[in-house]
């Protein structure tokens, strides 16, 4: 029986590969846009403008404190009532972008605030403008703190993308649900789903580990 199920699973591989492509596309677009927006929000939140920082912080806390599934349902089911109708795929990308931006905002703002105040005071005394301080002083130092958790967050976001199957997006998870209806061996079917997610996520996990090691070595040299 297992041999028959395995043969049927092999025949379903095109469906899984199609789902993998959609998973990578939704995750990639959401992470790319979310990274850009998240960096901008992070800079605003860490800035001296308390009003804007407070507004950004409130939105970020709201998104981080609510389930992604609820956010996805709001974008896909509630926005049409306001006249904004979206297909499943763009709704998934928008929701993923918003989620990524909020989590990345926290990472970026934390990295910026970790830069010693003495560096900022020296930059100000040198006559650098705010933009020049950000470009030449703050971000280069902050990136050492930002990179490891940022890459790790990418992995979590890719795994969270499995939620988009709830609105009908044909990703890897939905391919698994459709296949398990024909092949009643959940371990086999969702084992393949897990393997496909691992294949996508492992390079980022490896990269995050490399960044963490480099950061540890750099910190040790500075302390020495």
- Select from 211, 206, 208, 179 the least CA-distant residue to 192: 179
What parts of the chain have a pLDDT lower than 70?
Answer: 1-2, 216-224
Interval 140-149: pLDDT, tens: 889 988 998 9
What's the fold here for domain 2-223? Answer: MetI-like fold (1.10.3720)
| pLDDT for res 217 | 58
Please give the Cα distance from 18 to 171 (Å, whole number).
7
| pLDDT for res 105 | 97
The two three-digit tokens of residue 35, written as one number: 């990274």
Instruction: Break the chain into its structural domains and give their ranges.
Output: 2-223
| pLDDT for res 224 | 47
pTM of the model: 0.89
| pLDDT for res 182 | 86
């Amino acid at each position: 029986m297992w041999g028959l199920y395995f043969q049927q699973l092999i025949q379903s591989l095109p469906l899984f590969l199609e789902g993998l492509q959609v998973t990578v596309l939704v995750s990639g677009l959401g992470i790319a846009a979310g990274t850009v927006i998240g960096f901008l929000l992070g800079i605003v939140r860490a800035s001296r403008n308390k009003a804007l920082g407070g507004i950004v912080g409130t939105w970020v806390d709201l998104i981080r404190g609510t389930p992604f599934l609820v956010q996805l349902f709001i974008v896909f089911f509630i926005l049409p009532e306001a006249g904004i109708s979206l297909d499943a795929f763009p709704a998934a990308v928008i929701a993923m972008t918003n989620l990524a931006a909020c989590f990345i905002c926290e990472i970026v703002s934390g990295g910026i605030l970790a830069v010693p105040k003495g560096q900022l005071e020296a930059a100000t005394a040198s006559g650098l403008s705010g933009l020049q301080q950000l470009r030449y002083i703050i971000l280069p130092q902050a990136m050492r703190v930002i990179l490891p958790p940022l890459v790790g967050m990418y992995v979590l976001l890719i795994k969270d993308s499995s939620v988009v199957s709830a609105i009908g997006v044909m990703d890897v998870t939905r391919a698994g649900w459709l296949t398990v209806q024909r092949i009643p061996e959940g371990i086999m079917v969702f084992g393949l789903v897990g393997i496909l997610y691992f294949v996508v996520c492992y390079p980022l996990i490896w990269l995050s580990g490399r960044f963490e090691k480099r950061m540890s070595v750099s910190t040790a040299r500075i302390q020495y």
